[in-house]
Chains A and B, each alone.
Chain A
Amino acid sequence: MATLQRPAKDSLFTRFFRIEGTAIALVFVLLILVFLTTAPAAFGGYRIYMSFMASVSPPLIVALGLTLVVVAGEIDLSFPSVMAFSGYVFCILFQQYDMTFLAVLAAIGVGIAMGFVNGLVVTKLGMPSLIGTLAMLFLWGGLLTVVSGGISIAIPTIRDTWVHAVFAGRIGLVPVQFLWSIALAIAIWFLLNRHRFGESLLFIGDSLKVARVVGIATDREKIKLFTLMGGLSAFAGVILTLDTGTYFSQAGMGYLLVVVAAVFIGGTSIFGGSGKIAGTVFGSLIVAVIEAGLVASGIQGFWTRFFIGVVFIVSVTMNMALEDPDKVPLLRDLRAFVRKNQINRKESV
């Protein structure tokens, strides 16, 4: 009986695309090449890339944190409210007390505290994180409305300060916030792949029971995780506020689906136990580029969202196929069919 066998040694192509992020990076590059062809006026210039780098930073920073949360088999849907709350704290401290860097620290501190509470809700109340953090999305958002009175705050003079230059200014043409988000991506990659905390998250996501058996304090690690997520969400909220010079009461709400999409397009497993930081970076970039690219390509009106869906499906499928064609059932079946035919042909010869 004939058996299907893998080649003894993977090809260079296969090994290259097993390097984290290379497949989704190629998808991103292909997407840019497509837009360079369909919208050369926009994608041939530098301004659109500068705009992407500025606008992608807040959702990217949150997506990095969410990747860790998903790795641990959890989810955090409260981040839009944490972003808004930290943005409000920053605005108020700047507007009323002339604080700059201290306001940043205070805003991040508030986010850390909110993340800590989120962690307690998930671990100590035993609520599934999907429900627990959804509840906290409303709770924090509601509290913010009460505290702020629901107003929007404009702080145009922030653009003349050092804190703006450090967190949302420009080095040459490059938005500084993008450099911050890339630095955070590198740090979080090391945290996940080279640090005991990341190892614990991978264990927890893979099997909570096994994690407990090997001695991981799962509740403590999860609280740390949600606290970190709160801090990152707050930092993203501060950067968003600095960049727009405005606090909106619903700030961050538009990022809910964007961030979740970026994490999963990047290849992080929805079941936990594995995560790809580089994938999340390129997933965020793809999500950021799609709508603007389609609009610049002349696809307008109702077609835009249709094609966003098409690009999502093509991107995720290509990512999986480049990493390992067998991850896509259709390709796996096709390959098996071809191999079977080849074997049958050899046997008949």
Chain B
Amino acid sequence: MVTSSVMAQEAVDSGMTIYFQMGGNPGDAATLARELGARDAARIMNVDLIEQHSGWDPQRMVVQANEALAAQPDAIVVMGHAGTDAMSLFLDQAKADGIVVVVNNNALPGSGQSYFGLDNYGAGRNLANLTIENGNLTAGDEVVVYGAFIEGAAGFDVAAGSTDALTDAGIAFDTLQWSNEAVLDPSLAVPVLIAYLESNPDTKAIIVAGHGGITAVLDRVLIDAGKAPGEIATSGFDISPAAIQGVKDGYITVILDQQPYLQGFMPVVAAVLEAKYGLAGLDLNTGGGYLTQANVAELEALIALGIR
């Protein structure tokens, strides 16, 4: 008994240093909850947390992983957007150096590391299916998927999942690649989507495959395009204070919630447990939640805190 309580104390009071890849930019809609979760876990487990932000650039993720490696911390939490092949050298070196590696947000298939995040492809399918269900879409309807269609880019798997689900449902779709500028400043997506709607007046839905900021300006798109709430179904990722108003007003039909707080909290816990007790190979799907007009009131308080 004494021994186990001492060990538990050691795990909680870890004194470890962990480098953590947070994703986008400090505090942005898709990153804040992950930061808060990781910081909470770090506080509880006495971890010196060092945050890295890549602007969702897979190349920067690889560079930052190697920078973290150079600092020889106890553990490194990475994102898998660059793919397992691109990360293999890093993973091999980390293993050789005895550094724990945990993956969050985007998996590194076949790497055997603990993973906390969505099955992004499945999330894309889920997003499309939720849009079909909540937007009352039927076979023959036309929709546009606004997202990333370049392999390796953040959101690629989500977009692929969405388009495959639409194909399976017999729903016609166009794909629009979002620009780097719109990814950084979502207001730049507004005229592009309006232009699309004006040119394609039969469009029944807009699916934003994985960008919280762009999801949050969907209400602007419909208002400026002269559409009434619900006239066109819209959907996207990541709950934010901005997007919630769009849901309340009926302009945004459904938002998939990947619960990024868990993607911050759990990897820190897993890294400590693996370093202290060798507990590895954990896999947790953090997704599954979604926001519509039906449940928006319940989640609003947590959203304001940045936890959801």
Contacts and interface: CB of A to CB of B under 8 A. Distances in A.
Contact of B176 (A45, A254, A293, A300): A300
B90 interface: no
B217 A244 contact: yes
A7 interface: no
Interface in A237-257: 240, 243-246, 248-257
B92 to A, nearest CB: 33
Interface in B16-35: 24-29, 31-32, 35
Interface in A283-299: 288, 291-293, 295-298
Nearest to A40: B199
Contacts, number: 152
B27 A41 contact: no
Nearest to A298: B199
Given A248-B213, A301-B149, A304-B177, A48 B194 contact: yes
Interface stretch (A148-156, A192-200, A271-279): A148-156
Contact of B225 (A41, A47, A145): A47
A152 B242 contact: yes
Contacts of A251: 185
Contact of B25 (A47, A249, A301): A249
B240 interface: yes
A58 B25 CA distance: 22
B276 interface: no
B194 A254 contact: no
Nearest to A35: B195
Interface residues of A, number: 50
Interface string B176-214: 110111111111101110111011110000000000010
Contacts of B216: 152, 154, 246, 248
A298 B185 CA distance: 23
Contact of A301 (B177, B183, B185, B244): B177
A248 B27 CA distance: 9
Interface in B165-185: 174-177, 179-185
A151 B195 contact: no
Contact of A154 (B28, B180, B244): B244
Interface stretch (A15-23, A49-57, A208-216, A337-345): A49-57
A13 interface: no
Given A47-B198, A292-B192, A292-B195, A248 B28 contact: yes
A42 B191 CA distance: 11
A294 B226 CA distance: 21
A252 B180 CA distance: 13
A245 B241 CA distance: 11
Contacts of B174: 300
Question: B32, B181, B184, B187: which has the most chain A beta carbons within 10 Å?
Answer: B187
Given A41-B201, A153-B241, 14 more contacts: A41-B199, A152-B241, A154-B242, A244-B242, A249-B27, A249-B28, A250-B184, A252-B185, A253-B184, A254-B188, A258-B181, A292-B191, A295-B195, A304-B176
- Which 3 pairs of residues, A with B, have the shortest CB-CB distance? A150-B27, A254-B185, A42-B198
